[in-house]
Structures are given as structure tokens and as C-alpha cells.
Amino acid sequence: MNSAAGDKTSLEELYQDLHQNPELSFAEHRTSALIAERMLALGLEVTTGIGGTGVVGVLTTGDGPVVMLRADMDALPVLEDTGLPYASTARGVDGDGADVPVMHACGHDVHMACLLGAVEQLVAARAHWSGTVVALFQPGEENGGGAQVMVDDGLYEKIPVPDVVLGQHVFPLPAGSLGAHSGPAMAAVDTLNVRMFGRGGHGSEPESTIDPVVMAAATVMRLQGVVAREVGPQETAVVSVGSLHVGTKSNIISDEARLGLSIRSFDEGVRSRVLASVERIINAESMASDAPRPPEFSYAERYPVTVNDPIATARTTAAFRAAFGEERLFDPGAIAGSEDVGNLASAAGAPLVYWLLGGCDPGEYAAAEAAGTIRSDIPSNHSAYYAPVPRPTLATGVEALVVAAREWLGNPAR
């Protein structure tokens, strides 16, 4: 593998390979094998199979801090529509056994390529730092809480416990920019799956049924009032019904409806209150419809608020400022997207610093900003059109990881 610093094409080729070969959560078999092979070739001590498909590489050059750099590996069940020559045509099997398209619609391919590039640079510069670098490639960030799965699988019995956890997430902001927010930086998420029960029958005789379509529709509309009427103006929460499945044919009234909700918050008090309100409304609408059974609730991903340690964030952003210049740094504020990287830090008792990496063509972003059309013209993460530009996104991401790591690593004895 050529130097990622001196040969961007090599890094871009790696990125394109990862982009073309995405894999779903906990099915990252090809991806983890590729990563392990690359890190072994660079001389790292590599442990595979942590939490299923997790991979960790460790490089120690002497006494000093243990610095963890983290990237996630999994992709999403999205049909890519970017038109890129290296667009994904991959397919996979989801948790329900369905055949689905697969795409790196959240930029995890960028995260992996940047971390491998950073590891290569740190290996090349090993005479200039002292300590231990832990490069962790995590499965299942999108579905299943892979960070906690790795911890529960004895992560910190198998690798050195970090003194700091560092990471980044590519975002639809101008490429070449970096953004970090101190304190609560990303929202907690609670993913809730609900079954609501009715009584099926013929579409011509709705009076003999309890229609779950009407029940679910009323529930969806009533849930819109949770944030609007039960969350204060100085508080923040999001309640989204992302999926609603009911019925098979126009003249058949089904027996049940299934809803999938994503609930976001930044405060534990707000979180508890919103979850209680959501469950109250769903139960109440079920009772109002005279449902034969109460609804069933099943929680899936439950990630805590991502909290950037204020002191560690100030130290890391000062290093960014010195390396990149003030004009390339920004504070994005708290964003409603969610992450599970904080579980790696909390389990280690270590501070977390997690920043955003711009991945949008700067000219396109500037034009959309001037026209007031960012929301419509700039594809967001999880979109079928999401495609970070490789240059300068990859080079910036590599340098950011290296700068952050070197800030925390020690200096070799002279």
C-alpha cells in the first residue's frame, strides 16, 4: 500500500473499493478481513472477531498514553442512486431475512479509509511519538449497537484500555472543514417497534372489524403533538415514525399494524418524559379503537447522548486550529443524529472527542447556501444520493486523525 499522504490515488482506490462493497451490520466479513490484512501488513498487532466482526489494531512505540481512533464499518439497506462510476450494486439479507440493496449511505466507507490512512501515517512517523495507538473498526453502528457489543465481548480484556477516544463522522458540510461541539454533541436515540392489534375482515364490512389502519393513522397524527405540546421551547426532542406497515390488499382489513419510531433527545429528563408520552398515546389510541389486545412495544437501538468532554475537546480543537487554521474550523452545535461511539469511552472511563468532517463539494455547498436551498440541493446522510467528494475529504480526514492522535500521544525520550 502506497503512502496515503503522498499518493491520494491509493487512498481513493481504497475508498472506492469499500464504497462498492458495502455490508450490513454484523455482516462486515469482507470489510473486516480487508482491514485486518492491511493493518497486519503495516505491522500492527491485530485482533479480529470482537463483537462478531470487529477488528482492532494496536501499535506501541514505548511508554505513553493509549489513544483510541475509531471508525464504523457497516452500511445501510439503501438502493444507491448517485450515478457514480463506483456506485454500489451490492445486496444483502436484513434482520428479517429480506433481500435488500446495500449502500454506504452514511459515509462509513470514508471513516474506514481515513483511519487506515491515518494508521499508515502514524506507522511511518513512529519514531516521533511514544505511546500506544488503538485503531478500532466497529461493526453494527447502524443497527445493533456494535460499540456495546464489542465491550460486552471483552473488548478491554483483549486490548489496552484507552486514555482518550477519538473519532469523526463525515457530514454534508464543505469538504476540508472540521467541526466539534463541546458537551452534548449528538442526541440519544431510542428505536421503538410497535405492534397494534385490530380485528380483520372484508373491506365491504368495516363495521364488523377493528381497523388497524385507522388506529395506526390516528396514532401517527397524535404522536406529532408530543414535541409540539409536551416539550418546552428550550428543550429538544424529535419523534419520527419512519415505518408503517399494515394490510396486503385494498379489500382486506388486516389484523394488525406495525410502526417503527425513532426518538431523539439530549437530556435524560426529556428523554424519559417523551418515551412515556409516546407509550401513553399508543396505548390510548389502541383503547380508543377497542383493540382486542394492548399494543406490544419492542426497543431496538438505544444509544446515549454523545458527550464530548469539554477539556479534551478544547485540547483537540486547539491542535486542529494550529494545523488547519481557524477558517476551517466551526462549531456545529448539537445535532439530532445519534452515535454509539460514546459507549467505548464510557466503558473505558475515558474522555471522548468526536468531530464532524465536511464531505460536500465546497462550490456546490456555497451555491446552495447562497440560494437558500441546502436542504433540497445537498443530499444528507442516509440518502440514496449521498456521496462525499473524495478530495479533499479523505486527505482532511486522515490529517485530522493524525493531528488529534499526535496531540494526545507522548514524545519519545531523547
Domain ranges of the chain: 8-186+305-408, 188-302
| % of residues, the chain, pLDDT over 70 | 97
Q: How far is residue 205 from each of residues 197, 199, 292, measured CA to CA in Å? A: 18, 12, 18
245 belongs to an annotated ligand binding site: no
108 belongs to an annotated ligand binding site: yes
User: 7 pLDDT exceeds 80?
Assistant: no
Q: CA–CA separation, 40 vs 112, rounded Å?
A: 15
User: 310 pLDDT exceeds 60?
Assistant: yes
106 belongs to an annotated ligand binding site: yes
Which of 28, 74, 120, 211 is the catalytic position? Answer: 74
Looking at the domain that runs over 188-302, which CATH code has it been given?
Answer: 3.30.70.360
Q: What pLDDT score does 283 carry?
A: 98
User: Radius of gyration (Cα) for the chain, nearest Å?
Assistant: 23
CA nearest neighbour of 35 among 62, 74, 65, 66:
74
Q: How far is residue 252 from each of residues 133, 195, 246, 283, 293, measured CA to CA in Å? A: 60, 18, 10, 24, 20
114 belongs to an annotated ligand binding site: no
How many C-beta atoms lie closer than 10 Å to residue 351's C-beta? 21
- Read off the pLDDT of residues 47-89 as tens digits, 9 standing for 90 and up: 999 999 999 999 999 999 999 999 999 999 999 999 999 999 9
Q: What pLDDT score does 144 carry?
A: 82
Q: How far is residue 5 from each of residues 17, 43, 231, 249, 396, measured CA to CA in Å? A: 18, 18, 48, 57, 10
Mean pLDDT for the chain overall:
95
How many C-beta atoms lie closer than 10 Å to residue 292's C-beta? 11
Report the pLDDT averaged over residues 369-386.
96
User: 1 pLDDT exceeds 70?
Assistant: no
Does the active-site annotation cover 141?
yes
Which of 23, 141, 190, 407 is the catalytic position? Answer: 141
Q: CA–CA separation, 316 vs 161, rounded Å?
A: 20
pTM of the predicted model, to two decimals? 0.91
For residue 31, how far is the Cα from the chain centroid? 17
Q: CA–CA separation, 34 vs 14, rounded Å?
A: 10
Does the active-site annotation cover 23?
no
- For the domain with range 8-186+305-408, which CATH number is right: 3.30.70.260, 3.30.420.40, 3.40.630.10, 1.20.1440.20? 3.40.630.10
